[in-house]
Each structure stands twice: as structure tokens, then as C-alpha cells.
Amino acid sequence: MAKNIANDANYIEAARHSLSHVLAQAVCELFDGVQLGIGPAIEDGLYYDFDLHHRITEDDFAAIEAKMNEILKSDTVFEKRVVENPLDFFANTPYKLELVKELVAAGEEITVYESNGFVDLCAGPHVENMRELRNWGFKISSIAGAYWRGNSDNPMLQRVYVHAFPSRKELKEYYAFLEEAKKRDHRTLGNQLDLFFFDETAPGMPYWMPKGMKIYNKLLEFSRKVHEAHGYQEVVGPQLNHSSLWVTSGHWEHYDDNMFKVQIDENNTYALKPMNCPNAMILFKKKNRSYRDLPLRFSELSHLHRNEASGAMHGLMRVQTFRQDDAHIFCTQEQIASEMNGIMDIMDFIYGIFGLKYTAVLSTRPESFLGDIETWNEAEAVLKNVLDTRFGAGEYIVDEGGGAFYGPKIDIKVYDALKREWQLCTIQLDYQLAGNFELEYTDSDGKRKAPVVIHRAVFGSLDRFIGVITEHFAARFPFWLAPVQVGIVPVHKDHERYAHDIREELVQQGFKSTLDTSDGTMGNKIKSYRNELVPYIIIIGDKEVADGTISLRVRTGTQINGIPLSSFIDACKIMEQAYKIDLIENFDAD
């Protein structure tokens, strides 16, 4: 592959893959009896899987990196050639031989790349010459066990991960990013701030502590308020449903492994719901519906349960029980555009409140689909028009053939303060589920028709969203969302009565405030509130009691004295009602 600009994605992938060959050569030269697995490029570098008697540890990293640099000093080219007798050529390399047999059976040409006498099965591409990699920054990051081809019945190999970037400066910047991400890790912050925790008796099922529940409940309150303003009606369906419901919906066939099941007796099996869709269908079917009832918007914030593989769970980002701001909209084909725009209005508002940037992915008709092409084409045109209006033509991603078999969809990719990507919102058109449940409405012409169903969630999992915004804000939550909004510290016992009066007034106004009257020093009390990342700390001393004012320490570090309590409360109301991200630091006197 010809050398290209450093930020070209294809070139970077080829360079990382070339470095994986260099890593493999280095390990083979340093240790005896090495059998090679695979070594692809990945998002932040590369890895290679090895089978060898020596157990690679961090103590080996420096030697491997030194050997890699030694190899890179050559001017060797990466030479591609076709292997004429591949089964014989790879007879003594069992992992490669397994791959080769499959490729031969599929009629594929078998090629290798050779450099410095090192030969590896590979389709390419690679950089042309080793010298192109000399200025790259790379560092072995970790070692992990990995079953060959991800199958637990296969041998466990040693996977060596390497971070690799086009320059040493970029590698250094990446490690600075990783350090900042580590500081923001929601699992660490959740434990430090007493928000939530996990226990081995309930894997992937968080325990929410009092402070964490204040955040959770505030998001529920916020979601309910927004959706009610947009014409949604909140409903709740059963947690446990008979298998017949899931058979009708198709989940029993397609989602069976991800459901928690309860065997009642030999004839009856129930399952905890992994999603709300079937319950919404039952709710629609409860009444005879007319076109005048449409669009009908049901929202639901129930708990869901999904049986996840243990290796897939990660803090709040992937759990087995959660709540999501789920909604199902029943509408006509002609109402799709207005409903999509309404959903995008909600999304714009909510993500804007949290300062989250985002982009969209339109997934279109797959090869295997249900329904007629004309309906699909019309639906895709509607979604494309909505996205063209919102983002601009060509300013979003189109995933051709990436839609579900029952309808096209829009996925929203959200970016946090560290520019990491999270998928939170999905908007899915569904032409299948209404038919499964025989849902109908009477149209204006008197004919019975099936409604179009739109599935959507904006927060997605609320648990996951809390994990995302905890890292996004580094747990410095906006005032309106903070579990403790105001901490109060009296300097001496003589100041406690006035401090109590202040807290009582704040609580009456609806603000979450705590008063520290413990025996600790004033400095330690302030430090404790600061460690809790409380937005405002009120300090009460002689002057404040005498003047009827407060002194304030803002989380940003600003200190302000002589503020009338009424001015501070007015500012708090503004931050609460407007869902402001930034803390107010200017307080006008009465």
C-alpha cells in the first residue's frame, strides 16, 4: 500500500496491521515454540494472539518493544506472494492451517506477506517499507487470555495488545486521554460518591444508594415532564409475561437466550420482560381504535431484565436490569414524518440540556425483509428527508442494508466531553409487530388497517445514561441534577441556629441541602463537601449571622461573601427551572 497522509484511516489501519506482523516477528525471535494465531488492527492499535510455553508478563514488554524497534530499523519491504501449496506450506502451524483450510474450501487465493524473513498468512494491505513505521509511537498496553476464535472449547492463547499512533506525540496525547478517562470512570466515581455499587449475588444488577437515587429520580421526573409536554401517555405493563406473549412477538424465537425465564409448572413458562414492545401492543389492542386516535404515543419507564454474558457486563454501561425511557408510537404511514420530527425535537432538547453532541446513522432495507418494496422506499425517503433537514444532506451516515428485517431505523451516536462515542437513542420503524398482534384501526374510509409502530428511546437505558453523564461531567453534575445541591457549614455552635434556618428555607424551596453539625473542624467539613463535588457550600460565621447573609464557596473555586439568601435562592430557581449546566456565580442583591 502506497504511503498516505498520516490521518488517512485506510493507511493507519494498514500501518497498524503491519506493526502486528512486526510484533509477531519480535515474539517469535525472543521465545521458542511460538504458534501464531491472528493479529488484526483495532481502533487504538493492534493485537496478536500467541500460543507458547512462556507466559508473557509485563516484565517482557520492554524486551518485545526493543526487538520491534530493532526490526523497524531495516529498510525491508512487505512483499506479498501467492502460496501454491498452502496445506503443505502451513502444515506445521495448526492455527493458520485451520484458517487456510476454510479459505481453500471457499475457493479463496492464499497469500502471505514476507518481511525480514518473517512470513505470515495475510491478505493485506500493508505499508510498503518498514521505514514508514519508524516514527510511529507504539507501546504494549496489556496481555490477556483469549480463546482461539472466541470459542471456549478451543485453546486459550495469549493476546498481546499494543497502542499505536502515527507519531509519538499522538501516542502521548492518547495516554493523557486514557488517564483522564480513568479519573472519570463512573465505576470509581459511583463508589467514591456513594451513588451505586454491585454485589456478586446479583451480577450486572446495580444497588442504587440514596444519593444515586436522587439522580435517578430526577431523570425520571425530567423525562416524564418532557414527554407529557409532547403528548405522550405513560403506561406500565407486567414485569412477568407468559411465553405465549413472547412467541407472538417473535422474541421467544429470536431473543430466547437473553431472557430470564421462570418455570411455573410443566405446562407454563414465564419470562421477565427484556423490552416493553409486546406490552405496548396489548395496551393498543385493549380498545377499538380509530384514525382519530392516531398518533397514539405510549411511554413506559418500567424495569427490564436481559440475560447478558458475564464478559459483556461493564459497570452501568451494560447491565442485566435497567429502566429506559421507552416509547411506542402507533401512527399512519402519512404521520411518520411528523412523528419522526417530534422525536428529534425531544432528542435535540434533551441532549442539548446535557451538552452532548451527536450524529445520526440511517440503516436501510436489508436483503431479507418483510413487506413490499414501495412501502420501504417511502419510509426510507421520509427518514432521509428528516435527517437532511436536521443535519444537512450528506452530513450523516447511511448504513446500506443495516436495517432490521421489519423496518428501517435511525441510530444516534452521542459524543461526551472526551469525544467518546456512545449509542443511546434508536428510532425504529416497525411494519411487522402490529401484524403479529393483529392490531388494527378504522381509517377515515371505514377500512380496517394496521398501524405503523415506531419504537424509540432517547436516554436509552437510564442506568447507562447515568454512567455516560457521570463520565461526561466527571461527576460534577449540573445544579439541578446534583444529589446534594448545597452543603452548609456553621463555623461554631453559636451559628447552628441560623444555619438550621437557612437549610429549612432551602428545603422548603425544594432544594437538596445538608447541614454539617458534627464535631469536625470547619476546614474538614468544607473539604468533605468539596470531595462530594457539591455545587455550593454555604459558610455561616459571626458576620453572616449579624448581617443576615451567607458566604458561599462555589465548586469552581470562587468564594463570594455577603450574599442575601433570597438572591441565592433566586439563582437556584433559575438553574433548576432552566436545567442550566453552568453554576451561577453572580448574585444580585435585593
As annotated, the active-site residues are: 277, 306, 324, 326, 328, 409, 455
How are beta strands 111-115 and 118-121 bridged, if at all? Answer: antiparallel
Q: For 150-254, where are the alpha helices, taking DSSP H only?
A: 168-183, 186-192, 210-229, 243-249, 251-254
Helix (H, G, I), strand (E, B) or coil at 414: strand
Helix (H, G, I), strand (E, B) or coil at 579: coil
DSSP 493-506: GGGHHHHHHHHHHH
Angstrom distances, CA of residue 473 to CA of 169, 185, 500: 26, 11, 31
CA distance 435 to 457: 22
Residue carrying the nine cell digits 447515568: 466
CA distance 443 to 81: 66
Q: What are phi and psi of 224, to 5 degrees?
A: -60, -40
CA distance 171 to 138: 7
Q: Number of helices and strands (H, E) in the chain?
A: 18, 30
| Amino acid identity, position 512 | K
User: CA nearest 472: which of 537, 437, 421?
Assistant: 421
CA distance 119 to 309: 37
For 535, residues 6+ apart whose C-beta sits below 8 A from its C-beta are 477, 479, 482, 485, 486, 554, 555, 583
Contact 143, 160 (CB under 8 A): yes
* DSSP H/E element including 283: helix 277-285
Bridge partners for 455 per DSSP: 328, 428
* DSSP H/E element including 413: strand 409-415
Helix (H, G, I), strand (E, B) or coil at 57: coil
User: CA nearest 486: which of 505, 519, 511, 508?
Assistant: 511
User: CA nearest 216: which of 464, 582, 392?
Assistant: 464
Contact 66, 22 (CB under 8 A): no
End-to-end Cα, the chain, rounded Å: 71
User: CA nearest 325: which of 429, 450, 230?
Assistant: 230
Around 61, how many Cα atoms within 13 Å sit in the side-chain half-sphere?
14
* DSSP H/E element including 487: strand 486-490
